[in-house]
Amino acid sequence: MKAYPMRPRTRLLVGVAVCLLMGACGSPATPSLTSMTPKPAASTTGPPSASSDLTAVTPPYRVATIPASAIHRILLPPDRPQIHRLSGDGSQVVFDELGFGGDAGQGRTIWLADLASGSLTALATSENADAAWTPIISGGRVAWVEWHYADGPNLRGDLTWRVELIDLETRTVREVQSGVSPAGVGGAGGIPLIALTPDRIAVAAPQPTGSNPGAWQTVVRGLPTLGVAWTVTSAEWMYSLALGSDALAFSEGKNDAVADFVYDTRLMVARSSGAPVEIARDAFEVVANGNLMAWVSDPGSSQGHSGQAVAPRIFETSLDQVAPWSLSEEPNGDPVTGSSWPATGDGIVTWADNQDSSLHPDPGGDHLVAWSAGGGVVQLEPTSGMLLSTVGGGWVTWYDAWNSPPQLYGVRLEDLPG
């Protein structure tokens, strides 16, 4: 939903697009995290709702702060591209770079940061100028996708790809799966999606048939053997993929291959037996951890076929008793505000939230917001300008590209008061 170049499946937030692609971001105050002082326990009918107070003087969410001494940070190399995607497990965070591989070298390296020790390591660099993208870390392993188009300079043609998996203890790299995504109507094959848990890995890639040119197939494999556990075929073009404790979640929709956009989307959940079941409409990015699932809902973008985020919100549900609940505020102002890029772990959901509008002026743009069943929704401050977050393994970590140089931040959950 943000303007990180990603082909296909792109939705844009205009202000951030200009900021990232033109290097015109401002420099808000250095962010720090905040506390999550618990609210009363959630009722049995669902999680606490977000505050409805949306005024020029009161933030839309309850705000809390922790001492700066509890925050860990790592400066990112000033000569490297900005982060494209982020995934964390405890203090360890993996990320890729903006770019598509190629002679410029951008977008080819997978990085491993450890906020506890302050270390930053180039974990892997792709061969043959391939792009190395969307790393995920879980259970001491990291997976990512390497790919290139037949017509690389124009990002067109068949897409040759492979999914790699590294054991962080032994640094042994294995190829999980490889293939070729055929060029579609717009002249570009689809980049595979991956999901990872401590005991499973899922790989989704286009598998067109004569009757369904938009179908994708997801293969779920057990770890460490990589034996096939089950497969799932989507009815339409897949946008996002997540893997819970005993379920696969994904969003799918109609593919505008020319505009590189998926619309009229729906959220699906599949288990090892039975067909995928529709959970919600108009879903885009989806995440899962254990029994908790969260996603971005944007009816205006999905139904409007606009290719641009309109009024995104965060929803969550348990995977065994599906009952979606909205966690974030309904945007009440200009388009291209709202909530995006969710992450989940340890029973918490985090996301980037932007409520800047004429009703709630906020030059700081995005802020880090978190929800828990016991604490409700909390805006963690000061985090003006944050873009991506992760949560799991007892840590919350996030990335801020607005300051110079860009930095990674993290805090242990045990260091959050209350």
Q: What is the pLDDT of residue 236?
A: 93
Q: What is the pLDDT of residue 28?
A: 23
Work out the average pLDDT over 274-291. Answer: 93
Q: What DSSP line would sit under 109-161, residue for residue?
A: EEEEEETTTTEEEEEEE-STT-EEEEEEEETTEEEEEEEEEEEGGGTEEEEEE
**Looking at the domain assignment, is residue 183 inside a domain?**
yes
**Looking at the domain assignment, is residue 2 inside a domain?**
no
Rounded to the nearest 5°, which phi and psi values hold at 54? Answer: -125, 90
Pick from 336, 298, 300: nearest CA to 314 = 298
Are 234 and 307 in contact by the 8 Å Cβ rule? The answer is no
103: helix, strand or coil:
coil
CATH of the domain at 151: 2.130.10.120
* Those residues with Cβ within 8 angstroms of residue 277's Cβ, 6 or more apart along the chain or in another chain: 268, 269, 270
**Bigger pLDDT: 163 or 368?**
163
380-407, pLDDT tens digit by residue?
Answer: 877 777 889 999 999 999 998 776 778 8
Residue 196 — pLDDT band, cuts 50, 70, 90? very high
State the chain's mean pLDDT as an integer: 81
**Looking at the domain assignment, is residue 5 inside a domain?**
no
Work out the average pLDDT over 160-183. Answer: 95
**Looking at the domain assignment, is residue 232 inside a domain?**
yes
End-to-end C-alpha distance for the chain, whole angstroms: 33
Residue 332 — pLDDT band, cuts 50, 70, 90? low
- Measuring CA to CA, how many Å separate 152 from each of 135, 147, 162? 21, 10, 16
**Bigger pLDDT: 246 or 342?**
342
Are 136 and 144 in contact by the 8 Å Cβ rule? The answer is yes
**Looking at the domain assignment, is residue 339 inside a domain?**
yes
Ranking 46-60, 84-98, 148-162, 178-192 by mean pLDDT, the lowest is: 46-60
**Looking at the domain assignment, is residue 372 inside a domain?**
yes
Q: What is the pLDDT of residue 417?
A: 62
Structure tokens at 418: 């209350």
Q: What is the pLDDT of residue 68?
A: 84
**Looking at the domain assignment, is residue 406 inside a domain?**
yes
Work out the average pLDDT over 310-322. Answer: 87
9-63, pLDDT tens digit by residue?
Answer: 444 443 333 233 222 222 222 222 222 222 222 323 333 333 333 333 355 788 8
Residue 295 — pLDDT band, cuts 50, 70, 90? very high
225-238, pLDDT tens digit by residue?
Answer: 999 999 999 999 99
Tally of domains in the chain? 1
Structure tokens at 301: 């973008």
**Looking at the domain assignment, is residue 234 inside a domain?**
yes
Q: What is the pLDDT of residue 172?
A: 95
Most confident by average pLDDT, 97-111, 126-140, 260-274: 126-140
Domain containing 403 equals 14-415
